[in-house]
Structure 1
Amino acid sequence: MYTIPGHHHISMITKDAKLNNHFYQKVLGLRRVKKTVNQDDPSMYHLFYGDLTGSAGTELSFFEMPIVGSTIRGTNAITQIGLLVPSYESLGFWKQRFESLDVKHGDITTYAGRDALHFEDSEGLRMILINNNDEEVPEQWMGWEGSIIEQQHRILGMGTVEITVRHLDRLAKTLKDMFGYVEVAYSDQEAIYQSVAGQPFGEIVIKQQEGPSEKPGRGSIHHLAIRVKNEEELRYWDSVVKERGFHSSGIVERFYFQSLYFRESNGILFEIATDGPGFTADSTVEELGKQLDLPPFLEERRAEIEANLTPLD
């Protein structure tokens, strides 16, 4: 049986790609590793930020939708994203930085048993910096030396992801029984699961909340992608998803990785994505994110696509 080695990426909605581009590069110090378009709707940007190469588990991904409205928060949604930083001292550094740059944030507190600092981006996306206590991270994560943030405080990659649902038990059963996540804590109102025991880079916090479903808008989270190594493993999970009675998209070729999509019983959209071939499939490491990259099937439409996009740099 295959296991899930952690998060792959997480995808959000932005109303303004320029604003988004500034925040994640110039405030958080992440590398823009891919400037491309939504393969299902090439009229919109699809931007990826992460480590040196956008390694699986470090990728924050955004679809630009200029006409999108505000998010109306509610249940049955992915509600917060954890980002790992090296130490408790790093949380102090970031709190001071957020204060100087007028970034909305809270005080240093705890979350899922770790020191944490809650903050929001310029569109209200809720995130949490989480103390990794200088523990090991996945071996493929590689720091980007071009970051404006000094090495000892740089964001390492994705940590705990929070999902809020009406029926906690249904999502818990999917994570535990279908994917083999380890149960760390469980109550009627909150549960914690880890794809790798003891590690936050594959951790999911489930919160139970009644009420209306969230109405997505700018700063909302579209889906969470979890990791598999290769196409063979992806085909295995495709069969498991179908056997459990969920509708699978089937395997979709995304050029930088292969994926499948399904919604669990509360309607949360999950993607299962392969580690490779990665963002260097059409770019050198040095040139990652500098120009508009298109998958081969869209290359013949480059002139049309570029004409409809607002330049970012």
Structure 2
Amino acid sequence: MKGHHHISMLTKNGKQNNHFYQNILGLKRVKKSVNQDDPSMYHLFYGDEVGSPGLDLTFFEIPIAGKTKRGTNAITQIGLLVRDYDSLLYWQKRFENLNVKHSEITNYMGQHALFFEDHEGLRMVLLNSEVAEVPAWQPVSTSEVPKEHQIFAMGTVEITVRYLNHTVNLLKDLFGFAVVEQGSDFVRLQHMEGLRTGEIVVKELEAPKEKPGRGSIHHLALRVNDQDELMVWNEKLINYGLTTSGIVDRFYFQSIYARDKNGILFELATDGPGFTVDSTVEELGQKLDLPPFLEGQRETIEANLEPLD
């Protein structure tokens, strides 16, 4: 395991989503594609300049999506890392100026934090990483957010479940996460001790199951090196007693999907070949990119999609 790969959400409106994540959060739209299982809807990806694994926030556009009814057995919050405390001050002022719902700077799991929500109520938190150097990240050249304050990675992802041990045991016993903190109703785990880029907090909540809608989180993807490793993980998941999708070729990476006993959907995804397999860095996210098996349907697919720009 190499930490977080990407995380996928639902949005009702691609245009509004595009505005928030590019123009407010300062990320780059690195891929404009479609849901490969239902090409009638957009699948939008936002990240750094080249779409590096570990930051990508992805969204399926579902125009009929209703309001999320929050509850348990769901991924409920996304942590995003910034360089230092000055960056949190920058973002607090930016959110005030742009009327983004946010908290005061506070503390979360031992880090200075700024909680906020997007326009659809998706819960996120900016976290002070306190790092001098940011590895494997390329700043967005077109962002109005200064390089030193840009979001550079996913941090702590929060999962809320009815049965704490079901999810904690999967992360610990199978995926190799280590417990770094434990309370009466939560467990904090890291894929490598001291690294926030693979941190997960599992919280216990006895409540009705969340009803997903706009601004809800669909799944969390964790990083593996390549397809050979993915095949090993597929066997491990099956031997653990879970049903898997088998290896699915997403063209930009290969994946396996499996739900834990609380119903949380995890994806394991390879680092490569990446988003530049069919685009230059400069072209990323500008045109509608389709995997080869959908290319023959391009005319029909494009006719059913509303332009974003």
TM-score (normalised: structure 1): 0.98
Say yes or no: does 1:239 pair with 2:235: yes
Which of 130, 134, 143 matches 2:131? 134
Q: Which amino acid aligns with 1:281?
A: V
Give the Cα separation in 1 of the matches to 2:91 and 2:29. 20
Shift of 1:140: 2.5
Shift of 1:134: 2.0
Counting only pairs closer than 5 Å after superposition, residues 105-254 of structure 1 correspond to structure 2 as 105-137=102-134, 139-254=135-250
Shift of 1:169: 1.2
What percentage of residue pairs aligned between the two structures are identical?
61
Shift of 1:188: 3.1
Counting only pairs closer than 5 Å after superposition, residues 245-264 of structure 1 correspond to structure 2 as 245-264=241-260
Equivalent residue number for residue 76 of structure 1: 73
Say yes or no: does 1:295 pair with 2:291: yes
Equivalent residue number for residue 30 of structure 1: 27
Which of 4, 17, 20 matches 1:7? 4
Give the Cα separation in 1 of the matches to 2:4 and 2:192. 10
Q: Structure 1 stretches of 5 or more lacking a match? A: none
Q: Structure 2 stretches of 5 or more lacking a match? A: none
What per-residue deviation string (whole Å, max 9, x for no partner) do you get for residues 85-128 of structure 1? 01101101101100111000001011111000000000000000
What per-residue deviation string (whole Å, max 9, x for no partner) do you get for residues 178-237 of structure 1? 011011012330110001110110000011000100000000000000000100110111
Equivalent residue number for residue 57 of structure 1: 54
Shift of 1:135: 4.7
Give the Cα separation in 2 of the matches to 1:134 and 1:180. 25
Give the Cα separation in 1 of the matches to 2:137 and 2:123. 23
Equivalent residue number for residue 88 of structure 2: 91
Give the Cα separation in 1 of the matches to 2:104 and 2:164. 28
Q: Which amino acid aligns with 1:238?
A: N
SS at match of 1:306: helix
Give the Cα separation in 2 of the matches to 1:169 and 1:268. 13
Give the Cα separation in 1 of the matches to 2:7 and 2:63. 20
Q: Which amino acid aligns with 1:47?
A: L
Shift of 1:45: 0.2
SS at match of 2:104: strand
What per-residue deviation string (whole Å, max 9, x for no partner) do you get for residues 16-56 of structure 1? 00000000000000000000000000000000000011111
Give the Cα separation in 2 of the matches to 1:126 and 1:187. 22
TM-score (normalised: structure 2): 0.99
Give the Cα separation in 1 of the matches to 2:35 and 2:49. 22
Shift of 1:136: 4.5
Give the Cα separation in 1 of the matches to 2:176 and 2:203. 19
Give the Cα separation in 2 of the matches to 1:143 and 1:102. 25
Give the Cα separation in 2 of the matches to 1:37 and 1:142. 25
Q: Which amino acid aligns with 1:165?
A: V
Give the Cα separation in 2 of the matches to 1:101 and 1:266. 37
Equivalent residue number for residue 269 of structure 2: 273
What per-residue deviation string (whole Å, max 9, x for no partner) do you get for residues 269-303 of structure 1? 00000000000010001110000000000001101
SS at match of 2:103: strand
Which of 18, 23, 26 matches 1:21? 18
- Alpha carbon RMSD of aligned pairs, Å? 0.8
1:168–1:188 contact (8 Å) kept in structure 2? no
**Aligned residue pairs, count:** 309
Say yes or no: does 1:101 pair with 2:95: no
Give the Cα separation in 2 of the matches to 1:141 and 1:255. 22
Shift of 1:69: 0.3
Give the Cα separation in 2 of the matches to 1:101 and 1:243. 49
Counting only pairs closer than 5 Å after superposition, residues 36-47 of structure 1 correspond to structure 2 as 36-47=33-44
